[in-house]
Structures are given as C-alpha cells and as structure tokens.
Structure 1
Amino acid sequence: MHLAQRFREFALREARGNSPLYHRRALDIAADPDILALIAQLPSDKQQPNLILAAARIHGANAVPYTEFREQVAVGWAAIAATAMARRTQTNEAGRAATLLPVLASLPGPLSLIEAGASAGLCLYPDRFSYRYGDIALDPVDGPSQVVLTCATTGAVPIPSRLPQVVHRAGLDLNPLDASDSADRDWLSALIWPGQDERQARLRAACAIAAADPPTLVAGDLNDKISELVRAAPRDSTVVVFHSAVLTYLPPSARAEFRATVRGLPCHWISQEGTGVLPWLAGTLPERDWPSARLVSALDEVALAYAAPHGQSLDWFGVG
C-alpha cells in the first residue's frame, strides 16, 4: 500500500470516531509530501501510522495545529526515527479481555493462558478485571477491580455468570515489556491515542495488577517458542493459546506456519485478528454494515464474533 494511503486508511478506518486528533493528523500527514518522505526512509514495517505517531509523542511532537506539529517532527526526526526503529506497536489493550472473556469462559477450567504477542501481558488477567455488558456486571471473587471493562454487545453473546479460574499465565513476544518498568509504561501510554483518557487510566490500573503478580514472559519468535510454552503449562489445566491483532504483523507464510503449529499442540486456540488476516476464516464471516475496523474472534478456527479493536463492542454471530 502506498504510504499516503496507509495514513488515510488509518485515519478513516481506525482513528475516525476514536481519536479526532489522530484522525485529522493522519489525514494531514497523508497530504504532506515532506513528512511522508521522512517516514519513507524507514523500513516498511516501521512506517505504521500508530508507531510513527507514538514515537513523535514520546519526543514531544504534540503540537496543535498541524503546521507546528510537522515542524516538531522535522526538527526531532532523528530521535523519532530511532525510537520507531527500536520500538514496536505493542499496544497492550486490556479492554480486549472483554471480547475474549465469553470465549474463555466457555472452556472447562482451570485455565492456563498463553498469549502470543503478549507485550506486557496485560490481557493475561481476565479473572482480575470487572466487566459491564449492558446491565450485566461481573466482578472478581474478591470484589470489584480497579480495571472495569465496558463492552456493548449484539447477538447471543454467551456472557458467563462468573469469571474463569486462571492458574497459569505466560506470554511470548519479540520484545516483552515490563509493567513495572517506567520506560516501558511510558511507551505503552504513548501508544494510546490522544483523547482516550479512559484507556490511559485503564492502562495504569492494569499495569499495577501485572506488576504485583508478574506473568512469565518469554522473548522470541511465535513459531519458535509457542510449543515450549504450551508443554510447560500445568497438565491438570485447560491450555489456551490466544492473540489479538498480532498475526497481522507476520507474513502469510509465517501465519500458516503458526496455524499448523498450534493446531498440532494440546491446547485450544483463540484468535482475534483483522477480517483479512486469517484467510481460512473469510468464507465463514457474515456481511457487516459498518466501515470501521473489526477483529474476528474465533475458537479453534470457528469464527464466532466481530470485536472492536479495543474491546468496546462484541457482535456475536456464532453459536451461543
């Protein structure tokens, strides 16, 4: 995809309706040949709009209007580019637990959770969060959590009556982040879009939960390490490998390899990826009326629902 179109797509399909500033800013960048020329110096996988915008924020390029922002980017480009090269779009959105929960809770417990592309592992704590699905409230056994996830639903969502028991939490990432490390927390904060104060508060609360009871996080490639993590999980538990908006960053051959690997392991597999990322699901998806980005939630290669990227809604079309 042409770089300008990449920023336009981000503006129209992801930022619009979620962050007015990023919506406008991405459109402005798409129409700015000088800033696009700077970004084009980076490898293609480092030209992601969210990565560039987060790196700019880390280095103080936050001005409004755009004329001042573009000057900040031009002056600080060396540092911005260095951060973009060193970091990844490891948006660790705990809100996605709200769209994962109905699937997780359908499995027999206790659960061992293994997240591919875990970042700081914040989605490994679905049993430590509170949930609000319309007028249905779910809380941990020891009372309401500091992390409260609100999720709008349509369809016959199988909302559980209680949260699952999780006895093992492990994650895998090329560059795992540490919820107790201030620099890693700053980067996670920069990845949250301007105007989304609720997500910032949720991030801080989820980081506190993870820092107090750290998961096992392993550095490595998904296809090299996932078998090792599955086999290390407690044998008297139901092992679940899951991921959200992760395989989109792999080439199709690596996605196919991951599919073959996971399906050969003694575990369940929950995927939440964009509608075109896992082509073997494409023919099973119903038509949808909205233009904004959606993830497809699937269990063991059976598509069940459309999920909003940050867990804010779940549109169920599978068997309840």
Structure 2
Amino acid sequence: MQPMSELEADRLRRYYRTFARVEAADTSPVYAEWAQGVADDDAIIDLLLDLPQSKRQANLLFAAARHLGSGTGTFAQLRAWLLEHWDSTRALMLERSTQTNEAGRCAVLLPELARLDGPLSLIEVGASAGLCLYPDRYSYRYRTAETGRPRADTVASGSESVRSLALDPAEGPSSVVIECALRNTSAPEHIPEVAWRAGIDLNPIDITESDQRSWLRSLVWPEHDARRERLTAAAELVAADPPRLVSGDLCERVESLITEAPANSQIVVFHSAVLAYVDARKREEFAAIMHAHPEVKWLSNEGAGVLPSTLAQLESRGVDADGRFVLSVDGVAKALTGPHGQSYEDLDRS
C-alpha cells in the first residue's frame, strides 16, 4: 500500500493532467501546458502538497503567479519563477480564493429568470463581487440554431440557420454585452425586473477597490481577452451601484436573506460554479435547505457531478455533459451550459 503522501501526490498529478486535457486544452494553450508541466514536476507537486487541499487548484496557482508578475511564457519559465517566488505565491494563494466572477453566466440564467413572474428578488450564493446579481443591467446577443428555410434575420450555416436576437435593458443598450448560443430553445423575450438583490460569500470582493478588481482580472485565463474586457465593463457598471454582500457560510446565511426579501416578489436563489468548492455533506445540507423553501426558485449552475441527483438525472437520460455545466431548477436538470455562459442547450427538447 502506498503511503498517504504518495497517494495525495498521485491524486494531485491526475487532477492537473485532467485539468490540462479537459478544461484547458481547447480554450487556453498556456494553462494546458502549465497544468501538464505541473503534473510531471515533482518539485512543484511537493510545494502544492504543503498547502491545504482546497488551495491546490490550478486556477488559484496560475492566477496567483500571473497576479504577482510571472507572465504567460512556457512552463519552464513558470517553474523557474515559482521556485524563486514561492513564498509570496504561497501567501497569496492562502489569502485569496478562486472567486471568478463571470458576468457572462447571466446569459444562461436569463432564460429561466424570464419565465418567472416578477418582480424578482435575487440572492446569489458564492457571489464574489456580485457581478451576476445584475442580469437586468446587461445586454444580450443570443444566437439560436434553427432548421428549415432561413428567415430574414438568420444566417445560413450548413443544414441549419442561425437566428440572432438582441435583448437590451429597458433604459437602452448596456456597456456590457453578453453573447450566448442557444440550442433546442428560443431566446428570452424580455429582461425581468429585479426589485432587490443580495449575495453571500465567505470573502466578498469589494468591486470599488482597485486591488480586488485586479485580482478578478488575474483569474481570467490568459487568452480570454473578451472575458477580461467584459469583466472590466461589468465592474465599472456595478461599482457605480454596489450590491449588498454578506460574509458567511452559505448554509448559515441563505435563510436570513430569504426572509429579508420583499414579500411581493419572486425570490430566486442561484449559484454558479460554487458547490464544487464545498464538501459533499455541505452540498447535501444546502440542497435540503432549498427544498424546504418551495416558495423560492432555486437555480443551480454547476458541474455535472457536483450534485449526485443531477448526475443521476443525466445518466438516466443518456446525456453526456461533455465538460459543460448543468443548469437545474428546483433540483431538476433543465439545460447544459457553457462554463462561462457561452452556450445553453435545453434538455427538455433535446
């Protein structure tokens, strides 16, 4: 039997290899090379094993290095930089967390939000800086794939035609424009009214502080210039009217916010890429809390394996998420979504 340290090292190497192959290969050549390099490097693996398990994530390591000035060169260059600057990198990794605040995810939440009778009260769990609490302030450009004869506002693409729909806030086009490809569903026809909004995070980010905004930019992957530009625009928009963010555990704070929401509104609790960072017991506890509040709509946008019930639903239907998130409503899987909000595929019509 292998000693525990060796088992942990093997597990960590597998994680970084999977990150390189599944998460980064098609979207970030830099991170794909870095992750594979880490997996094959005993010295870097040993440094990571000295951190708490929750602080060994690739996103956190790479963002911390870039934030401190590593650049985006080869893995050999990153390795040399890390070995020279490990104390400062380690300190930053212990201080910070992977609070990626991707406003683009609003595009995959909007189809469900638009189906609800408003006004809405939004509560985001794992809110980071709260950029996803403003779906009513952003503009959307949806592309829907349709079969048959192209319409006047469609563009032919092989055997399909692609229809585009522009959706803007009532006050006019936003400085933040989010693009999303839809499949097996039509685009939302309106942006719902939001009467109240609040968020929960263990360490809320103050979007009005330049250093914290800089950290959010460091969390965006090197090649993702459009996401970085969108983050900058969303941060400026939200900084002008910052949300209410409370610090604390998701299970301990969510019910108090539910009771604060206006009584004449539809309360919506939502989260994206959050539950993966808490243990299985905490996930089950949170799901039980949400099921205990049938008056609240619960939107979960997480990896396919994060909630066991979600994975079981996909398997029973023979659906492979293929690296995409699953958007569930009140625990029922509704759509496959791009991790950054770039696509939405309706499961009910697939």
Greater Rg by CA: 2
TM-superposed CA distance for 1:137, in Å, is 1.1
Partner of 1:287: 318
Partner of 1:255: 283
Task: Confirm whether residue 129 of structure 1 aligns to residue 138 of structure 2.
Answer: yes
* CA separation of 1:113 and 1:63: change in aligned 2, threshold 3 A: closer
Q: Say which of 193, 197, 210 aligns to 2:221.
A: 193
Q: How many residues align?
A: 318
After the TM superposition, which residues 166-205 of structure 1 pair with which residues of structure 2 at under 5 Å, given as runs? 166-205=194-233
**Would the aligned equivalents of 2:16 and 2:35 in 1 still touch at CA under 8 Å?**
yes
Give every structure 1 segment of 4 or more consecutive aligned residues whose post-TM-superposition deviation is greater than 2 Å.
Answer: 286-291
TM-superposed CA distance for 1:289, in Å, is 5.6
Partners of 1:61 and 1:39 in 2: CA distance: 17
2:208 counterpart letter in structure 1? S
Partner of 1:146: 175
How many percent identity over aligned positions?
47
Partner of 1:26: 35
Partners of 1:13 and 1:105 in 2: CA distance: 32
- Calculate the TM-score normalised by the size of structure 1: 0.96
1:225 counterpart letter in structure 2? R
Partner of 2:159: none
After the TM superposition, which residues 1-320 of structure 1 pair with which residues of structure 2 at under 5 Å, given as runs? 2-134=11-143, 135-157=164-186, 159-265=187-293, 266-285=295-314, 286-288=317-319, 291=322, 293-318=323-348
**Would the aligned equivalents of 2:33 and 2:74 in 1 still touch at CA under 8 Å?**
no
Partners of 1:57 and 1:314 in 2: CA distance: 31
TM-superposed CA distance for 1:316, in Å, is 1.0
Partners of 2:240 and 2:264 in 1: CA distance: 25
TM-superposed CA distance for 1:287, in Å, is 3.4
**Would the aligned equivalents of 1:304 and 1:319 in 2 still touch at CA under 8 Å?**
no
* CA separation of 1:234 and 1:278: change in aligned 2, threshold 3 A: same
**Would the aligned equivalents of 2:101 and 2:130 in 1 still touch at CA under 8 Å?**
yes
2:43 counterpart letter in structure 1? D
Partners of 1:223 and 1:74 in 2: CA distance: 39
Partners of 1:93 and 1:156 in 2: CA distance: 23
- Calculate the TM-score normalised by the size of structure 2: 0.88
TM-superposed CA distance for 1:288, in Å, is 4.3
Partners of 1:236 and 1:255 in 2: CA distance: 29
TM-superposed CA distance for 1:31, in Å, is 1.1
Partners of 2:25 and 2:259 in 1: CA distance: 42
TM-superposed CA distance for 1:290, in Å, is 6.7
* CA separation of 1:63 and 1:30: change in aligned 2, threshold 3 A: same
| Long gaps (5+) in structure 2 | 1-9, 144-163
Structure 1, 14-23 or 227-236: larger mean CA deviation: 14-23
